[in-house]
A and B are shown apart, each in its own frame.
Chain A
């Protein structure tokens, strides 16, 4: 278990000095990390801290468990390919899955806005029930609060999940070695761009759908095929692939090199990103995961993913190298390269 997570010098140095909370503190990038490492972790986690993992690993009387929590604030509540209810289940199932655990039980908190039509609530509860059944997790409790009209975008949902650790896999960024392969389960950016377009502020249309799904079956497939070779996994939600891999690079002190031409991308995502000046590597996903796998088992892991349902577009998208230490470098086939940093603030479209 990771209860004895080390106090990293770089982590200890972070201080939260920002005078007020900005939207950026919730966007999953640098500001979020500063808030968690500089304010929450020192006061709340004490010496037991590994706050930036997707889930905490704990032991109770010899049983090894993983526990995680997540809140869902999304506008609009329903969008092509999914809804807030599905996200609330899948998000927590996925955080547990990429920590090497299978979600068993979940408790749910609803913050509802006065005036929310029952029909909408009912649709979302049904969506949660369906997603929970599909993911094989049981909802065993919950809480409801209602706030004044105009305060909660209809509804917010928070879910907390607990699960048993899968056997035969251990996730630890410090075990990452040079030469390890970076696996990606499928095309990126579908969720973030779908939400951006669904808000209707841009006169852009596409047939994109959110990728929200439980990644547990894919994780199980890859663990079964290459468990001992898996060093690290993460679902690249807010902040996208770039932010997840930058966190890994910082945690393991190695360089992550991505091969741009290998990164799977739907045309709709590519087009929207080109138009708006966004980098797909910074866009949120809700149904993909990244895995770092030792070179000897990388092909087995890739084949297992591709053979699993929903994993046909999986690719090896990069590898771990010595340099650039602590950073992510994207290389192209023609020999150009660039550093890709964590997302800074919310992704803002570039117009002029």
Chain B
């Protein structure tokens, strides 16, 4: 690994160029804006606006954390269940899990409005029984629901992938040594599927904490998440780019810290961690 051949360099160079232009350069630009004022002079003043967005930061983390926990609770048994099925059924279910990912993210989120709105499918049905309309749209619940719905495949897939590769003879060995189904799960399946769980948590939490579309469409203007704040500031025009960049930077640092903590839990590097 330490000495890369010329062929290797040639193969990886297009991506390196791509990453430089579209990842590194924008990051540098973001840092530049975060530490300058509209006239281009260096300043740390942008960071002093952070206090105004404390609530947005807090809500973002809270909602993302709740969504991640719900996603994990739903996805883990699902992934476990999938590995127990015939191979053909497993493929079928995988397809079902991935199917929503092939549709546009905005459309998927938007479609929840038609389900949750006061005149939507649920309330129309409830109305037939003389109940409601129940306020479902523009609630924190709707935002969290949107997150769970949009990101659950990213939780199921890594967990499923780790579990399905688990060596069946390990389970037999555990049974051989006296484990019933429960201890087998607790002492073998659970610890060995941890890399998939860590990876899934990262892949759900990170996009959830920075989302703005889901909260705008399903949360209305009541739930201002940090993503919404950044988007709002950018829309105000070039004068606000600096503060928006500062917020983005802080969000990014927060995400990096979260990921660092998560990776500490999976330091036995047995693969599966995607990010």
Partners in one complex: no
